[in-house]
Amino acid sequence: MKSTLFMMAAFTASLLSFSACKDDSSPSPVGLPYQSSFQRDTDGWVAGITDYSSAQDSIMAFKSALKGLPTPLDTTRKSIMVSSMNRSDDAFMFLKKKVTGLTPNTNYSLVFEVELASQYASNSIGIGGSPGGSVFLKAGASAIEPVKVLKDGFYTISIDKGAQNNDGKDAVIIGDIGTGTDTVGYKLITRSNASKPFVAKSNAQGELWLVVGTDSGFEGLTTLYYSKIRVTPSATM
């Protein structure tokens, strides 16, 4: 009897152990609503840049990294820094991330709230346009991955994000990067499309690619720090 009980206990323990291992190895869906403040890592967001000639590759000076916020802000807070020279007068610096676990082939009404550190005064003057007023922040989502595409010597993106101060099918303007002041210096700003939710349809796998980025008319160096991205959905018919 004791032997039988021991074997049953051992079998039960092995099942629990197998179940625990299975749960640990199974990826959990990202889903929505979604929010990240990048305190541990980039949380799967990948940076890129498009809308420039392949001949300008070596002079765009594009870079991205997980960094603390710049002074005089709280430098212990992490963020995704993106930076580039806008040699083409049209550069699009962006972040993208795939969310999963959604209802397949379903429209989602999405509200983006993006917090970032910008140093550009709203009424500043720059080559091609104001650093604060002519760099347009956009947000959107697509059923297909936003990827860099080289066509006829020019890098574009595989989604319709619109051109500079125009909305696209897959992304809309949610503001600019002006700090609301007349002085240069880093300040946290928040932009949102709460007044006009963006509708995107998930693919057959229940996935959406989120994208946030800047469409620039300022022909100079732009360096930004994304400190929080929140996306809140509600399914629509």
pLDDT surpassing 50 at residue 8: no
Least confident interval from 18-22, 40-44, 72-76: 18-22
Decide: 61 and 52 in contact? Cβ < 8 Å: no
pLDDT surpassing 60 at residue 44: yes
Who has greater pLDDT, 30 or 177? 177
Domain assignments of the chain as residue spans, ordered by start: 30-236
pLDDT surpassing 90 at residue 64: yes
Q: Which residues of 1-25 are buried (b: 16+ CB within 10 A; e: fewer)?
A: eeeeeeeeeeeeeeeeeeeeeeeee
Least confident interval from 10-14, 17-21, 198-202: 17-21
Residue of 166, 227, 165, 171 lying closest to 198 (CA atoms):
171
pLDDT surpassing 90 at residue 11: no
pLDDT surpassing 60 at residue 23: no
0.85 cut: is pTM over it?
A: no
Mind spelling out the 3-state secondary structure of 140-208?
A: EEECCCCCEEEECCEEEECCCCCCCCCCCCCEEEEEECCCCCCCCCCEEEEEECCCCCEEEECCCCCCE
> How many angstroms separate the CA atoms of 70 and 83, rounded?
13
The class (CATH top level) of 30-236 is: mainly beta
Across the chain, mean pLDDT equals: 85
Phi, psi of 33 (to 5 degrees): -65, 160
| Residue 81 pLDDT level (bands cut at 50, 70, 90) | very high
| Residue 169 pLDDT level (bands cut at 50, 70, 90) | very high
Least confident interval from 1-5, 108-112, 183-187, 198-202: 1-5
